[in-house]
Amino acid sequence: MKRRTRRLTIISITACVWTAVIFVGSGKQQLLARASATLNIETEPMSVRISVDSDKAENGGYIDTPTQIMLHPGRHKLKISRDGFVTQQLTIDAEAGDAVNMDDIMLVRIAGAPLASVEITSEDIPLNCEIDDGLARGVTPLTAPDLLAGQPHQLSCYPKWPSREGAAKCKFTPTSTGTGTGTGTGTGTGTGDVAVAHLKLKTKNGKLKISGCDRRTSP
């Protein structure tokens, strides 16, 4: 009887220990789930650079909004920027488990900053292209508005997305024509000085070629 009693006691203790371990583990998972806050951002224009407490999202590249960023609870400094537009700097307070929604951020064009529209077409098949690490991206034919004129931009196009093999790249600089009618105070409409750059892609000897660029760069 004593052996049986001792055995039942050991089994009971083991069961209690495993129950405690499972309970503690579950509690930790719940705490981790509640330890972060969610920041939901939507902007106009939609492609922007975002940094939180000087930490640059996507290594400082452009991000298409709406997007979602996880935050530690507490106060944070948020910076939203885009070339040719006034940078917005905001302070937000986030509590664990909360969702902070910022869906009405409008970036105002810098007064007098000339904006350009770029048209990209391909002769053969639709191609995936992007400008300046995500400032604009899409499938040809592609129109990219609100690029800063008088400034070099890089175009990258890929024959097979998301593979980046066989890419064609080049630098181009749209110039202001001064024919726009805006005052330079619009909110992402690009209605001031207007420049339109036309870039065309074609396949030659199995390789992508881009015409209309300042110069081609190495893939």
Note down the domain range covering 81: 37-106
Both tokens of residue 86? 């006034």
Q: Which of 78, 106, 134 is the last residue of a domain?
A: 106
Asked if residue 25 is part of any domain, the answer here is: no
pLDDT in tens, 10-41: 555 555 545 554 444 554 445 444 578 899 99
- Give domain status of residue 212, yes or no: yes
Pair 119, 206 in one domain: yes
What per-residue confidence (pLDDT) applies to 215?
Answer: 60
Q: Are residues 126 and 198 in the same domain?
A: yes
The answer to whether position 17 is within a domain reads no
Residue 125 and residue 44 share a domain: no
Spatial CA neighbour of 44 closest among 99, 96, 107: 107
- Helical (H) or strand (E) element with 74: strand 74-81
pLDDT at 210: 84
- Out of 61, 87, 106, pick the residue that ends a domain: 106
Q: Which residues contact 40 (CB under 8 A, 6 or more apart)?
A: 66, 67, 68, 99, 100, 101, 102, 103
User: How many of the other CB atoms lie within 10 Å of CB of 148?
Assistant: 22
Does 149 share its domain with 206?
yes
**What's 41's domain CATH number?**
2.60.40.1120
Is the domain of 71 the same as that of 122? no
The pLDDT of residue 75 is 92
Owner of token pair 């690490």: 133
Number of domains in the chain: 2
Q: Give pLDDT, residue 151.
A: 86
Q: What is the CATH number of the domain that holds 175?
A: 2.60.40
Per-residue pLDDT of the chain (219 residues; tens, 9 = 90+): 455 555 545 555 555 545 554 444 554 445 444 578 899 999 999 999 999 998 898 888 899 999 999 999 999 999 999 999 999 999 999 888 888 899 889 999 998 888 888 888 888 788 889 999 889 989 999 888 888 888 889 999 887 777 777 788 889 888 765 544 333 333 334 444 456 667 888 877 777 788 888 765 444
What is the pLDDT, as a whole number, of residue 98?
87
Q: Output b/e per residue, 63-95; b: 16+ Cβ within 10 A.
A: bebebebebeeeebebbbbbbbbeebeeeeebe
**Segment 124-156, tens digit of pLDDT:** 788 889 999 889 989 999 888 888 888 889 999
The one-character DSSP state at 92 is: E
pTM for the complete prediction?
A: 0.69
